[in-house]
Amino acid sequence: MRLVILEDYDQASEWAAKYICNRIIQFKPTQGRYFTLGLPTGNTPLGCYKKLIEYHKNGDLSFKYVKTFNMDEYVGLPRNHPESYHSYMWNNFFKHIDIDPNNAHILDGNAPDLQVECDAFEKKIEEAGGIDLFVGGIGPDGHIAFNEPGSSLSSRTRLKTLAMDTILANAKYFDGDLSKVPTMALTVGVGTVMDAREVMILITGAHKAFALYKAIEEGVNHMWTVSAFQQHPRTIFVCDEDATLELRVKTVKYFKG
């Protein structure tokens, strides 16, 4: 793996955005040959999205020939609810760029048959030729997407019940009222993300430090599902100084050197 350590959140966001931007530009996507991007939600990638929007507005980056696949979506939340991941992606990304709406794929948490929806999503990824670059984050409990502790490391897109840690972390987006937080979500599996040709995990903040330690300095373990990427041929972890607080000095020095 590569571990890229930047000084703070803003620099980490910018580094990640530049990397994505360069990847797309180098790929030279065109009609019939799209660049496929896997995308996350949450607080961590907001800075990265802002930068990508900036590059687009400067005329340096177009999403015309980019297909996106989001990692997850809540079950049972109306699509236009301000906390749904559809709303998040529209407000924080899609409305500011030139992506074709037909190429922006997000799981539908209100589909009549949720498993059919998940299977169809896997099929769409396959039809798009697989994911070129999957961008993800990490939960405080080391999960990737909603693959909570205990999720199979070969899992595919499916319905998941959310862990208490996740529900507590999300409560702040629902007026602090635990009863309002969705308890289930559709999520890509660990296996789904592992299939991507390249993976980039964004990790910032001291509260994620322990999860990062478990993910890269301990063994591959289904209780810390991000650890699965130790076995992926091309993974980059992008983090800020605070996120490295639980790592060994030796590890940090090695990757900084």
Partner 1 sequence: MPSNKSVSDAPIARFTNCRILRGRRLQREDLWVREGKILNPEKLFFDEKGSADVQLDCKGCILAPGFIDVQINGGFGVDFSLATDDFGSGIDLVSQKILSHGVTSFCPTLVTSPPSVYHQVLPQISVRNGGPHGAGILAGAHLEGPFISKEKKGAHPEHCIRTFEENAFQDLLATYGSLDCVRIVTLAPEIKRSSEVIQELTKRGICVSLGHSVANLSQAEEAVQHGATFITHLFNAMLPFHHRDPGIVGLLTSDKIPAGRRVFYGMISDGIHTNPAALRIAHRAHPKGMVLVTDAIAGMGLAPGRHTLGQQVVEIDGLNTYIAGTKTLSGSVATMDTCVRHFLEATGCSVETALEAASLHPAQLLGIEDKKGTLNYDSDADFLMLDDSLHVQATYIAGEEVWRRDVLDM
Kindly report each contact of residues 150-155 with a partner whose C-beta sits within 8 Å and lies 24 or more positions away, as own/partner. 150/222, 150/223, 151/189, 151/190, 151/222, 151/225, 152/189, 152/190, 152/191, 152/222, 153/190, 153/191, 153/194, 153/220, 153/222, 153/225, 153/228, 154/189, 154/190, 154/191, 155/189, 155/190, 155/191, 155/192
Question: By CB under 8 A, which span of 3-11, 12-20, 37-45, 106-114 interacts with partner 1?
Answer: 106-114
Nearest CB to partner 1, comparing residues 109 and 139: 109
Given 14, 83, 108, 198, the residue binding partner 1 (CB under 8 A): 108
Nearest CB to partner 1, comparing residues 57 and 207: 57
Q: Is the dihedral of CA 8, 132, 146, 78 positive or negative?
A: positive
Give CA 104 to chain center in angstroms.
15
Q: How far apart are CA 222 and CA 100, in angstroms?
A: 36
| Element housing 18 (H / E) | helix 9-27
Given 7, 8, 60, 100, the residue binding partner 1 (CB under 8 A): 100
Nearest CB to partner 1, comparing residues 19 and 85: 85
Strand partners, 67: 36
Given 92, 110, 152, 221, the residue binding partner 1 (CB under 8 A): 110
CB of 86 vs partner 1, minimal distance in Å? 6
CB of 70 vs partner 1, minimal distance in Å? 12
**90 part of the interface to partner 1, by CB under 8 A:** yes
Q: Is the dihedral of CA 148, 152, 156, 160 positive or negative?
A: negative
CB of 99 vs partner 1, minimal distance in Å? 9
- Which of 25, 37, 149 minimizes the C-alpha distance to 94? 37
Given 26, 31, 58, 102, the residue binding partner 1 (CB under 8 A): 102
CB of 113 vs partner 1, minimal distance in Å? 11
- 148 noted as active-site residue: yes
**101 part of the interface to partner 1, by CB under 8 A:** yes
CB of 250 vs partner 1, minimal distance in Å? 47
- 72 noted as active-site residue: yes
**111 part of the interface to partner 1, by CB under 8 A:** yes
- 126 noted as active-site residue: no
- What are residue 248's phi and psi, to 5 degrees? -70, 145
Which residues are known to be catalytic?
72, 141, 143, 148
Task: Name the site residues for partner 1 (rule: CB under 8 A).
Answer: 79-80, 86-87, 90-91, 94-95, 100-102, 104, 106, 108, 110-112
